[in-house]
């Protein structure tokens, strides 16, 4: 089993082989494209592009979602870190001066944007209306059944987490 590749468009193609397995990935955006040009995709799409069908796999490229959600609990007990409401009475200037002088202090903390949301039950009395919507709403009619089943499975997992009375959902984005 192996892979043929070229580092650049006009480069000489090279082959690499192994005895067990080859895993090729091009990230969330381009892995489906890589599979498709390799002949792994819904056969009707490949045939329309004159690509030899090696594996008819209807779900390829169908499950990219803009925002993934990870469920985690963190019980905050120690407020020993610098907080934004402490930036008063010269503290901001002191932090700026410390950073400029020593490259230390609160300004060296990673830039992390955190948004927290209350549980859906806490946020609205109409929470059942939102949860009862089919996750298939808005999915194109030609979406393979295996992909539709996957969405329903994901919805069930997310519902259990979103409806929790002991934790809300949150989003953390590291920008540093």
Please indicate, yes or no, whether the overall pTM of this predicted structure exceeds 0.75. Answer: no
Q: What are phi and psi of 115, to 5 degrees?
A: -125, 130
Per-residue model confidence as pLDDT tens digits over 76-104: 554 445 666 666 778 878 888 988 999 88
d(CA 176, CA 173): 9
**Residues linked to residue 113 through DSSP beta bridges, in sequence order:** 173
Per-residue model confidence as pLDDT tens digits over 60-71: 888 776 555 555
Mean pLDDT confidence for 112-123: 68
pLDDT at 130: 76
Q: Are strands 14-17 and 2-5 parallel, antiparallel or unpaired?
A: antiparallel
- Half-sphere exposure in the Cβ direction for 48 (13 Å, CA): 5
pLDDT at 84: 61
Domain extents in the chain: 2-56, 84-174
Q: Does residue 174 surpass a pLDDT of 80?
A: no
Going by C-alpha positions, the residue among 17, 34, 16 that lies closest to residue 25 is: 34
Asked which of 75-84, 110-119, 126-135, 159-168 is least confident by mean pLDDT, the reply is: 75-84
Q: Does residue 48 surpass a pLDDT of 50?
A: yes
Q: Are 30 and 61 in contact (CB under 8 A)?
A: no
Q: Does residue 34 surpass a pLDDT of 80?
A: yes
DSSP assignments along 26-85, one per residue: -HHHHHHHHHHHTTEE-HHHHHHTT---SEE-TTTT----SS-------------S--GG
Mean pLDDT confidence for 20-28: 81
Tokens of 79: 């407020």
d(CA 36, CA 44): 11
Asked which of 10-14, 66-70, 140-144, 159-163 is least confident by mean pLDDT, the reply is: 66-70
Q: Are 83 and 93 in contact (CB under 8 A)?
A: no
């Amino acid at each position: 089993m192996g892979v043929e590749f070229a580092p650049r468009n006009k480069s000489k193609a090279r082959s690499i082989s192994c005895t067990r397995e080859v895993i090729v990935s091009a990230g969330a955006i381009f892995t489906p494209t890589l599979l498709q040009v390799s002949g792994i995709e819904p056969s009707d799409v490949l045939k329309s592009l004159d690509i030899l069908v090696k594996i008819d796999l209807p779900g390829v490229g169908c499950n990219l979602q803009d925002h993934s959600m990870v469920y985690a609990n963190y019980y905050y007990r120690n407020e020993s870190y610098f907080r934004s409401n402490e930036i008063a009475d010269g503290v901001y200037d002191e932090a700026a001066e410390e950073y400029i002088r020593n490259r230390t202090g609160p300004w060296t903390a990673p830039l992390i944007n955190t948004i927290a949301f209350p549980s859906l039950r806490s946020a609205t009395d109409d929470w059942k209306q939102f949860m009862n919507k089919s996750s298939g709403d808005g999915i194109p009619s030609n979406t393979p059944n295996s992909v539709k089943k996957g969405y329903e499975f994901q919805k069930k997992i997310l519902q259990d987490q979103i409806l929790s009375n002991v934790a809300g959902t949150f989003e953390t984005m590291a920008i540093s």
